[in-house]
Structure 1
């Protein structure tokens, strides 16, 4: 029996040799569909985040099969494997939400583990919900093999232009007496019509847009409906694109550069993206070996305007942005204005400028993306606030509709559930600054999203009258005067742990400060009396996460290198 010719693109797969050593592995691969000719082809791992636990990912197995077909037709051998996903929309407001951000690390770990063990030469990763997208990118960055990310696509609007956030806010409106239970139930039954990620510029669509701007997905991937021929074509093209990247020997480290991350930040600012993008982009950059900090968001934000009238603070949904051409015309407009680095390499094998060269502008009359000279807000809506309450930084989403300055009295809660109950029963009133602490990466653990409290505030009509600050984070669907990611977190003895009911707090989103109006001497007295609480979990994944996770200001990663 002669040696099988080896494709030179097979850099990571175990070499194909005759003899007993490889008989077992060849036999096992035959059992999953390999034929003689497949053993000499580059193997392309297809990382699928398919799951029935969320509509964001319920269609992704079909997309994975299409991506596999694309790799096969281009001369590779596709191999589908699964990783996990969780559902933020289902878990929000419960103890289960503590697993959400943790899942990002589990996904990155699992993609690295499977691909590293099996020796795939290239990868396609398909994600459809908040954490599995950055988790996929982090896994691809660790492996640094030719790779393409595919977004599963956005959901269509529900009846009456509703979406998942409509359901959360309906609960608050019911508590205020403005909606009946029957009306709430009708919204709940019709807001989610099928597969796809949450329909506004929430975290899923934010991260999909960021990854396309980063150069790690094919042009147009971020702005396609989940159930569409365009999305199927995107998946097939991604399988073929990996083979092209293998030919060109282009790896994620060639694409995910400092300038590429700056492009991603620029695009998500113009789109009014989620505060979670700050956490995820810093985490992704950290994994890719790129130094990205909170200061980069401030630096870029001073010269980049908010242009998109998209939910949650705006009017339109992602499916409506898809209908007018997605984000490619926006990126072309930004490139022409000198606001993007056009020389960044992308997964097409071409530069960003080359990809955008033939893109046509939006048609006249569309109202979703404003021109550069008529912005919704002249500077970024993502505000990085420092002060004696957040000496290592915090993140706010201030579009201007909430105002830019808030002064109020602290109403302190030790958990999300405690705050939610007091919002719904009317205890929280105008002028309050809700302080929800011990919800950080270590203290929660897991840094839950405060979607239920922010939605209840909006539903009760207090969006302009109440501020909320936390060492946890927010859903991309949260809006109002909210500040999250406060570091150091309460569990680590950060100043947020020292706030008492009635303390005055001043938040200024123009000079980007967040201050507790208490004297240094008084703060020191409180600090001396403070004791760190016992960990809430001592075994299992949450305990492991709490022991290894870094600060939110460094991306809340679990593999931060030793200094």
Structure 2
């Protein structure tokens, strides 16, 4: 940490001295007085749009932030970034553009903050790729930054039970099997998403918003205060005051984003049973911070960290229940009892993790005590073997105990659409291992989520007898023996591209193995055909992503083009 008096504000480069008269003239054109210009310039990044329910209410949160920044002596300068709704993009070509949006968001924030020499950032967003994209931008810039989420959606109610979006996707499978009538599916559709916020379970958006608390880039409650509560606006104002204090004290992201912070994020992630997408996003954020986080870190920490929560889709609780039980600080407090976190590291507000989490721990219902966990190991597992030499990821806490070990014949599909058609027409049988390939970062391109397929299998009652393996990825709403991020992907010559119909595949989650039971000499004879992809011909954005994306085992982040192969730290 540095005292801001040691150096001038970054914004002084754009506003001080006679040579900056034209620059000040342009600021005056926007209505800013000279005494306002003299304040620290604070970028207020707003991912509002009217498409995504997690973003629909962000204007109100942004206004609360801007008012608090102004009251605390800063000049709030709002600008937007894009945001994709993975739910609406699911199951069609649109999902190919979701993961690439993460890189666009990080680049957009860097461009705006650098071009206008901003002194600090408040990053206001929700949803799957927006939060990690914002965190990547903050780490890359290394100027004082705080994140504020829009908060989780409340659960819906369907015939006396709580429901969320995952039940709607599973309802499609139930309808295809004939076990749900169309009018019942419509009633569920009308009930499962009752208002604004990021979808109510421990899916990717809520996982990442909770992990921002753990990393220390946001204040307590960021991940769990429901979107519709007034406390969300109070948090926004408190976050603005925190940011202004960080600017004065020059507390920067790289003071916070240490290896210990990422290890703690992994520990809380697996204790919560968070989305497998965190294995992509944490690695990508860490890379921006110059931290060498790997899948091996995730696997080691998950093996030694108990699973304390079973939130939807792994259980019946939702984020609102976690909030009432004490939220992320309570989960961290419980893990600290077992010596599983680093209590001395710094958080955004200048306190240590131990000082932030000094309150009560587990409630015993939503958050189990460390002495009585759901399991002695965490909710994510990394699997390696002949089918995934570089690794793959499964949300083990959402896998039925009967499927922790499974051997079955491969049912091979070269695109998600082909697999979905087979599921909807009842062509998948108990015991099968569905293989969906050419859906990785390069082969997709874009590494699509497979929630539509996994949910349809669950809706047909096959989640306890059928496994799914892909070089693509899964929504946080996925449950069942669903193994994603298989690396190397088919497009990079990985063994998944050599699997043929009927090959035996063995899944062994307790021992971290994913094996293709085909002799190496037989695999050596095979040649993987490459499916044609018109998206590469029609989309410059996807062409760039496919050309630069790293593997799923490395976070699927776009590689830097440094001639010496190294990216310097900010």
TM class, shorter-chain normalised? over 0.9
2:236 counterpart SS class: helix
Distance in 2, matches of 1:98 and 1:113, equals: 24
Corresponding residue for 1:397? 395
Is the aligned partner of 1:166 residue 2:164? no
Structure 1 CA distance for aligned equivalents of residues 126 and 342 of structure 2: 27
Give per-residue Cα distances to partners, 1:200-244, cap 9 Å, x unaligned.
011111111111101110122111111111110111111111111
Counterpart for residue 428 of structure 2 = 428
Decide whether the 8 Å contact of 2:325 with 2:367 is kept in 1.
Answer: no
Matched, 1:288 2:289: yes
Query: What residue number does 2:513 align with?
Result: 513
The equivalent of 2:79 in structure 1 is: 81
Secondary structure of 2:82's aligned partner: coil
Structure-2 residue corresponding to 1:249: 250
Which of 90, 93, 100 does residue 91 from structure 2 map onto? 93
Q: Which residue of 2 aligns with 1:340?
A: 341
Supply the distance in 1 between the matched residues of 2:379 and 2:155 (Cα, whole angstroms): 25
1:408 aligns with 408
Aligned with 1:81: secondary structure?
Answer: strand
Q: Do the aligned residues in 2 keep the contact of 1:126 with 1:152 (CA within 8 Å)?
A: yes
Name the structure 2 match of 1:231: 232
Answer yes or no: is the 8 Å Cα contact 2:15–2:23 preserved in 1: no
Task: Output the TM-score relative to the length of structure 1.
Answer: 0.95
Alignment of 1:315-330 (within 5 A): 315-330=316-331
User: Tell me, what secondary structure is at the counterpart of 1:506?
Assistant: strand
Change (3 A) 1:9 1:360: farther
Q: How big is each residue's C-alpha offset from its partner over 1:71-118, in whole Å with a ceiling of 9 and x where there is no partner?
A: 111111111110000110101001100001011111001011111111
Matched, 1:10 2:9: yes
**Cα distance, 1:521 vs structure 2:** 0.4
Cα separation, 2, equivalents of 1:269 and 1:380: 4
Which 5+ residue runs of structure 1 have no aligned equivalent? 1-5
Distance 1:45 1:60 in 2: 15
Counterparts of 1:153 and 1:234, CA distance in 2 = 10
SS of residue matched to 1:474: coil
Instruction: Select which of 90, 96, 111 maps to 2:109.
Output: 111
Query: Aligned partners of 1:381 and 1:323: how far apart in 2?
Result: 22
Match of 1:371 in 2: 369
CA shift at 1:25, angstroms?
2.1
TM-score when normalising by structure 2? 0.94
1:463: how far off?
Answer: 0.7
In structure 2, C-alpha distance between the alignment counterparts of 1:384 and 1:226, rounded to whole Å: 33
Cα deviation digits, residues 462-511 of structure 1 (max 9, x gap): 01110000000000000101100000100111100000000000010111
Aligned residue in 2 for 1:419: 419
CA distance in 2, matches of 1:422, 1:301: 34
- Native 8 Å contact 2:405 2:507 kept in 1: yes
Measure, in 1, the Cα distance between the counterparts of 2:545 and 2:15.
39
Give distance in 1, aligned partners of 2:351 and 2:210: 18
Matches within 5 A, 1:134-533: 134-160=132-158, 161-357=162-358, 359-363=359-363, 366-399=364-397, 401-402=400-401, 403-526=403-526, 529-533=527-531
Q: State the distance in 1 between where 2:12 and 2:393 align.
A: 43
Deviations 1:227-271 (A, max 9, x none): 111110111111111111112111101100000000100101111
Measure the CA separation in 2 of the matches of 1:180 and 1:24: 67
CA shift digits 1:96-154 (9 cap, x unpaired) = 00001011111001011111111110000012101100000001111100000111100
| Aligned residue among 45, 48, 54 for 2:46 | 48
Match of 1:122 among 120, 127, 130: 120
Deviation at 1:14, TM superposition (A): 2.2
Separation in 1 of the partners of 2:69 and 2:294?
36
1:27 positional shift:
2.4
Q: Distance in 1 between matches of 2:411 and 2:259?
A: 41
Distance 1:68 1:559 in 2: 34
Cα separation, partners in 2 of 1:15 and 1:175, compared to 1, 3 Å: closer
Q: 1:65 maps to what in 2?
A: 63
Equivalent residues, number: 552
- The offset of 1:532, in angstroms, is 4.2
Q: Which residue of 2 aligns with 1:3?
A: none
Cα distance in 1 for partners of 2:330, 2:12 equals 39
Offset at residue 193 of structure 1 (A): 1.2
Q: Distance in 1 between matches of 2:253 and 2:412?
A: 44
Q: Which moved more, 1:457-466 or 1:330-339?
A: 330-339
Contact 1:269 1:306 in 2 (8 A): yes
Is the 1:507–1:513 Cα contact (8 Å) retained in structure 2? Answer: yes
Quick one: structure 1 residues 13 and 393, their matched pair in 2 at CA, closer, same or farther if it must change by over 3 Å?
Answer: farther
CA contact (8 A) 2:154 2:195 kept: yes
User: What value does the CA root-mean-square deviation take over the aligned residues?
Assistant: 1.5
Q: Provide the rounded CA distance (Å) in 1 between the counterparts of 2:328 and 2:16.
A: 47
Contact 1:408 1:432 in 2 (8 A): yes
| In 2, Cα distance between equivalents of 1:239 and 1:8 | 22
**Partner deviation per Cα, 1:411-464 (whole Å, 9 max, x = no partner):** 000111110010011001111100000000000000000000000000000011
Query: Residues 202 and 229 of structure 1: is their aligned pair in 2 closer, same or farther, counting only changes over 3 Å?
Result: same
For 2:334 and 2:528, how far apart are their aligned partners in 1? 52
Equivalent position SS for 1:407 = strand
Following superposition, the deviation at residue 23 of structure 1 comes to 2.7
